[in-house]
Homo-oligomer: A and B are copies of this chain.
């Protein structure tokens, strides 16, 4: 692969002059310029970004560490991140983690070795990992979609309280009192926080908390399905179910169908995320719309601000969520 020197030799100038021409800096005579451009063209010269980065001390790369994005949610964050990064001329170096996040520190190190300009974390599994927090604080500027142990890393995320409060209030307003919830992996902060909000909103409306109405669905379709069967087995009087994401809600709908419970007449269902599929489940799903792409984009912008300013970590950013009302919810006891 041709280098500046090769082009220079062919155009009979010094390689620094070639650099000048190719970067449009410095004064160069039109004829020389032409000769250099031709030589570069003929040799198929492609600049070496590695060398450039080495010299300029900026790799124009963002590192992204994400939970396995085979599921919909992380993939959509990732899309938002990638799109925004691209718009700023940055490349994205992608690392996905084991489900338990055990290899996070290792990948952080790889990103640091590659001198990425910034790091975006989307790894709920590492929320309590002190080591991850420590490494993040010593490395390049970082932003996280989740909590980071020990702080110092600004967070950008959809309003987590709202994702539980909105649907529960909606169901309460419809007259429901026995409201079940299918959670994501309960050992994760985000699922636990939503559970706390669930309890609090119920309490505000004078509805007692019943732990038998909460089941772990592990974020997956099958988990939502199995959780619903368990819920119906031990709390058959429930009249509504909130699933913490739409995929689990698909499993919920299926299980209710199997049990002969009509939706929404016998049981209302609310999902979360507003995945395209939610619009066409049977019945179409009332759900919480999450600003996935915007969150990813906001994370990138925040990171770039940090890189540019070099200042202290800014405040957390919270993006609003909203309800989408469809046919899967109705008045209690209809």
Task: Give residues in A with beta carbon < 8 Å to B.
Answer: 1, 44, 46-51, 53-54, 59, 61, 68-70, 72, 75-76, 78-79, 82-83, 86, 91-96, 109-110, 112-115, 138, 220-222, 224-225, 247, 250-251, 253-254, 257, 276-277, 279-282, 284
Contact = CB atoms under 8 A, between A and B. Distances in A.
Number of copies: 2
Contacts of A279: 221-222
A131 to B, nearest CB: 14
B95 A46 contact: no
Nearest to A75: B75
A279 B247 CA distance: 11
A82 B54 contact: no
Between A54, A61, A114, A221, the greatest number of chain B beta carbons within 10 A of the residue's beta carbon is seen for: A114
Contact of A254 (B78, B82, B93, B282): B282
A96 B82 CA distance: 7
A48 B115 CA distance: 7
Contact of A114 (B44, B82, B91, B284): B91
Contact of A76 (B48, B70, B254): B70
A54 B48 contact: yes
- Interface residues of A: mostly helix, strand, loop or mixed? helix
A112 B254 CA distance: 48
Given A44-B138, A50-B53, A250-B277, A91 B83 contact: no
Contact of A276 (B49, B86, B222): B222
A253 B281 CA distance: 8
A69 B74 CA distance: 11
A247 B221 contact: no
A317 B207 CA distance: 60
Contacts of A47: 113
25 contacts: A44-B138, A46-B109, A46-B112, A47-B113, A48-B54, A48-B113, A49-B114, A49-B115, A50-B53, A50-B115, A54-B54, A69-B78, A82-B94, A82-B95, A82-B96, A86-B95, A86-B96, A221-B277, A221-B280, A222-B276, A247-B277, A254-B281, A254-B282, A277-B277, A281-B282
